[in-house]
Amino acid sequence: MTDVLSLDELAARIPDGSLVAVPPDHVGVAMAATRALIRRGARGLRLLTVPTSGLQADLLIGAGAVAEIETAGVALGEAGPASRFAAAVTGGALAVRDATCPAIHAGLQAAEKGVPFLPLRGILGSDLVGRRADWRVIDNPYGNADPILLLPALTPDVALFHAVLADRAGNIWIGRRRELATMAHAARRTLVTVERIQEEDLFAREASAAGALSSLYVSAVAEAPRGAWPLGLAEHYPADDAHLAAYAAAARSEPGFRDYLARHVL
């Protein structure tokens, strides 16, 4: 059964050291939960971005909550580079596991299907293959001299995201964002913040059932109106571009970042 929690209780369900899967900035980022994680003093998290991240990763890294990240990229989009991520990498405070978008999705799909790995071809020939000791190149057993890359399953301890709607049973409306379903299927636990919780079961109607994630895959949900802010939530509210630009300017220096944390997070 899915638990309905407060925001702080939800954040408490993410132990230090957890491998946490998070979506990209345009999909449904649990920013309110991210701020709650920082306030509780989370440490040693391992982030898996699906497949990229921006403000969420930069905030957590700058706050000292992240020890390692597996990612295809971290940036603030039009607001510029992710300065706290860059500072942590160059300063040696953050371990980075370089990946690509299809590699991350393939690893999650392997865990979703309950298999130890999935094959992928498009990364062959890149320098990245040599940087990942856990990626294996074999000869296609059904062909000759046909190399194929094997990617290990990625099983997050926690999938964390924000969505528009949940019902009292814990079913989540994710609409067309099927990567959120893949994250939830692959993870040991899924924690979701939502704009609101409704009484009617999402699976009671064909129209809502088609875009719903079953509560079977959801451990807990917390109501957090505008919980993606200052990022946007598609078809509900836009990103706060002025705030994101102000963050990018502040985060260029450690004192500026600390001032931002004091005013907007702590």
Mean pLDDT of all residues in the chain?
A: 97
Per-residue pLDDT at 226: 98
Average pLDDT over residues 112-117: 98
Least Cα distance to 168 among 228, 218, 225, 236 occurs for 218
Q: Any idea what DSSP says for residue 126?
A: S
Give the whole-angstrom CA distance, residue 162 versus residue 72. 21
Pair of tokens at residue 140: 């296609």
**Cβ proximity of 265 and 59 under 8 Å:** yes
Per-residue pLDDT at 205: 93
Please name the residues in contact with 136: beta carbons below 8 A apart, sequence gap of 6 or more. 117, 149, 150
Per-residue pLDDT at 143: 81
Give the whole-angstrom CA distance, residue 77 versus residue 263. 23
Please name the residues in contact with 197: beta carbons below 8 A apart, sequence gap of 6 or more. 4, 165, 166, 167, 168, 221, 223
Residue 154 φ/ψ, nearest 5 degrees = -110, 115
Per-residue pLDDT at 236: 95
Q: What is the pLDDT of residues 53-81, one digit of tens each?
A: 999 999 999 999 999 999 999 999 999 99
Domains of the chain: 3-100+154-260 (3.40.1080.10), 102-152 (3.30.30)
CB half-sphere exposure, 260, CA atoms < 13 A: 24
Does the model's pTM come out above 0.75? yes
Per-residue pLDDT at 32: 98
Pair of tokens at residue 188: 């040991």
Confidence of residue 12 (pLDDT cuts 50, 70, 90): very high
Please name the residues in contact with 13: beta carbons below 8 A apart, sequence gap of 6 or more. 5, 158, 189, 191, 219, 220
Alpha-carbon Rg for the chain in angstroms: 19
Confidence of residue 193 (pLDDT cuts 50, 70, 90): very high
Per-residue pLDDT at 144: 80
Residue 29 φ/ψ, nearest 5 degrees = -95, 130
Least Cα distance to 264 among 86, 82, 62 occurs for 62
Q: What is the pLDDT of residues 207-260, one digit of tens each?
A: 999 999 999 999 999 999 999 999 999 999 999 999 999 999 999 999 999 999
Does the structure show a pLDDT above 90 at 15? yes
Q: What is the pLDDT of residues 140-149, one digit of tens each?
A: 999 888 999 9
